[in-house]
Structure 1
């Protein structure tokens, strides 16, 4: 089956080129860097040891940054190549990558394009983040005897069932990794069922992340604009959640007439769609001139990229997005809010972050609201009771500060494959 896949992808050059053209037309590719998707680059490989880290999109890229910073700190001569497949992840990397680290768009899984990529970059070690597994790429890594690890690995029940149907193929693909470090015990069980070689449950690397960065000048400006107004943020929203935020705002405005609601969409390019759905409210968009909220602003649409830390810092209460969304939800990382002293709220659909949310809720470091009415009531309680709000902020912050050991544990497990580069 894998042989057939390799043959078919080898013959798929016209189709893949058409796919790239289609994605380019839809604004999903960078025209100036489109050849990177074919394994072609204008950047020279740096001298010395090179670790290649692949992170599919924004979420994985945020995880990768924690590992990248640690690797660079431990070896002053090491270079790191990071690949990803989305424009937003590339933008994030351009803003956050340190010296001696560079970004490329990952080539599509065409055998010739992968060979070209590996021939140019000649990585000494390959580290995959989370769950994106490309058969040709992993097979060529194995053929070239490049030590590889899968870090922060996760495998949902749905993905596991799909892979288990083709478990012999899964076993062969996973054999490219010398070690797999999973987010949860259930993930470890899933990978072991697929006959992966060495699987260790470590935890989620995002739990060891430094607090999200923010610009101090921008924070001072935003804080001054907010003043003493009661404020909350709905962070990383998806379709359906912006309308929910507005309904909650209108209800709470009866008791808190100067309430300010900040909405940070997960995908800022949805700004026009969002604005068209918000009616009967005074809305101001931050994009493109870093516009600040006014005294009469109801909804502040924070439709910029890479500023989530700013809004967590400025708001005492955060509802975590994709927990009430129309797509079935799944949740986002609540620790980012907790680290910046927010009281943390979530809706019921948190299956992608279930273990973390369950732990935080058990520690009273986050609150689950099951429906819109509970959401309104909880938010009103926090806005009305300063002592309760400070207590919940403190519990969230303490919980977040206790998670920093995970990157240390990951480095210990990776030591055997990193010994040639560190």
Structure 2
């Protein structure tokens, strides 16, 4: 595709946005009815601010969902420590709750505006950010173009590029170049990610490591943890977390294979808790007794499965076990983040499909803290082996925590990379402290 065709395609995208704008109201109302949007804050998705802009320098951070929000939280705290205002946008109700829990009123939270020119323009007209910082893989054409047109520096931090996304962008090199060249800086998670961003036209590109390693351990409710541990007693446990369709049934099959010998309790935490009713039906159909977190069911001696059908409580579920299978890897595609279970003292098991977190798994596998399984039968054997070999399980856990410690440092590198953009704002905030 030529540069002229790329400009034409992006212009068509812009005008298509104008056409879609009037019908987005009913669409967001439909999402709100399903609990995917906050009813009272839908106007924010059209760029309408719910609060006034504070005086002084301001950085716009965008984090799509929970993982990205957790990843940039320490970076946001560093920016706030300098007296610089922050408006944080997220795309899900869950990430909004995480932002509130972790950052409180130290930042202004808004839902991210739709990637349509009227919404983006309205958002930027109100907030006038001095810098825009996007997390991981947030590439929204109209947002990038509007920031570029206003000469607002935009930086991608903790950047990653999946196999699928890279292949898709490579088919449209002129469009990729027109967008990625707009980034003032890309700070990538790995050298492999960095090379992909460079190939697509981003310059300069630096490597920091993964910000998720430098985050705090996932929080938990101590009272809930104590209650569950009391109910579980001395039963053996394992967890299947961030599961996708098919993997909950696999966890049920593993439980049935092992429970008679071990008196096992299996913890299942789906990636999308709204599937909980269907998951429970599947597990009950396998002859298993299910306790659900949302019902506050008591775990009894007859309970086979604790279904963790809540959001934001991974820290609770992982503290109930020392063995964690990480989903979207047997029946899904791309994998899920293995760092949290390693951080919280779990031996990690995973299926082979972990393309989106390849480097993290490579680091953990090399240290001996993560093992890959091909299928359900191999998963059952892996869980059984770790349940019955305390020394091997303990070595995996220790290796995982050592690996996490070795991988830390991404926050320092990211802050160092951002200094040319943050230093002038820091000076401005200090010169006008009442405005910041």
TM-score band, normalised by the shorter chain? Answer: over 0.9
Q: As a proportion of its length, which structure holds more helix?
A: 2
1:84 aligned residue (70, 90, 109): 90
Cα deviations across residues 367-409 of structure 1 (Å, max 9, x unaligned)?
1122222211121111112222222211112211222211111
Shift of 1:184: 2.4
Alignment partners' CA distance in 1, 2:76 and 2:272: 24
Alignment partners' CA distance in 2, 1:194 and 1:145: 21
1:32 aligned residue (19, 36, 40): 40
Shift of 1:80: 1.5
2:184 aligned residue (171, 178, 185): 178
The reply on whether 1:335 has 2:339 as its aligned counterpart is: yes
CA contact (8 A) 1:69 1:98 kept: no
- Provide the secondary structure at the position in 1 that maps to 2:424: coil
Alignment partners' CA distance in 2, 1:220 and 1:291: 15
**Where does residue 5 of structure 2 map in the other structure?**
none
The reply on whether 1:5 has 2:13 as its aligned counterpart is: yes
The structure-2 alpha-carbon separation of the partners of 1:264 and 1:157, relative to structure 1 and needing over 3 Å to count, comes to closer
Cα deviations across residues 142-195 of structure 1 (Å, max 9, x unaligned)?
222222101111222332232223222222212221100112222222221222
Higher RCO (CA < 8 A, seq sep 6+): 2
Alignment partners' CA distance in 1, 2:388 and 2:26: 56
The structure-2 alpha-carbon separation of the partners of 1:89 and 1:144, relative to structure 1 and needing over 3 Å to count, comes to same
Alignment partners' CA distance in 2, 1:217 and 1:250: 30
CA contact (8 A) 1:90 1:103 kept: yes
CA contact (8 A) 1:78 1:100 kept: no
The reply on whether 1:226 has 2:224 as its aligned counterpart is: no
**Where does residue 312 of structure 2 map in the other structure?**
306
Shift of 1:366: 1.0
1:283 aligned residue (255, 267, 290): 290
How many residues in Structure 1 have an aligned counterpart in Structure 2? 416
Alignment partners' CA distance in 1, 2:33 and 2:180: 35
The reply on whether 1:365 has 2:369 as its aligned counterpart is: yes
**Where does residue 273 of structure 1 map in the other structure?**
278
Alignment partners' CA distance in 1, 2:76 and 2:20: 34
CA contact (8 A) 2:59 2:129 kept: yes
**Where does residue 161 of structure 1 map in the other structure?**
167
Alignment partners' CA distance in 2, 1:400 and 1:190: 25
- Provide the secondary structure at the position in 2 that maps to 1:402: helix
Cα deviations across residues 206-255 of structure 1 (Å, max 9, x unaligned)?
12222111122222122112111101111111111110011000101132
Alignment partners' CA distance in 2, 1:265 and 1:148: 34
Shift of 1:200: 1.5
**Where does residue 388 of structure 2 map in the other structure?**
384
Alignment partners' CA distance in 1, 2:279 and 2:168: 35
The reply on whether 1:94 has 2:97 as its aligned counterpart is: no
1:409 aligned residue (408, 413, 417): 413
CA contact (8 A) 2:292 2:309 kept: yes
The reply on whether 1:254 has 2:260 as its aligned counterpart is: yes
The reply on whether 1:200 has 2:206 as its aligned counterpart is: yes
If the length of structure 1 is used for normalisation, what is the TM-score?
0.94
Alignment partners' CA distance in 2, 1:387 and 1:165: 49
Shift of 1:109: 1.7
Following superposition of structure 1 onto structure 2, how do residues 313-328 of structure 1 map, counting pairs within 5 Å? 313-325=319-331, 328=332
Alignment partners' CA distance in 2, 1:9 and 1:93: 29
- Provide the secondary structure at the position in 1 that maps to 2:358: helix
**Where does residue 375 of structure 1 map in the other structure?**
379
The structure-2 alpha-carbon separation of the partners of 1:329 and 1:157, relative to structure 1 and needing over 3 Å to count, comes to closer
Alignment partners' CA distance in 2, 1:301 and 1:191: 39
7-16 vs 302-311, greater mean Cα deviation: 7-16
User: What stretches of structure 1 move > 4 A for 4+ residues in a row?
Assistant: none
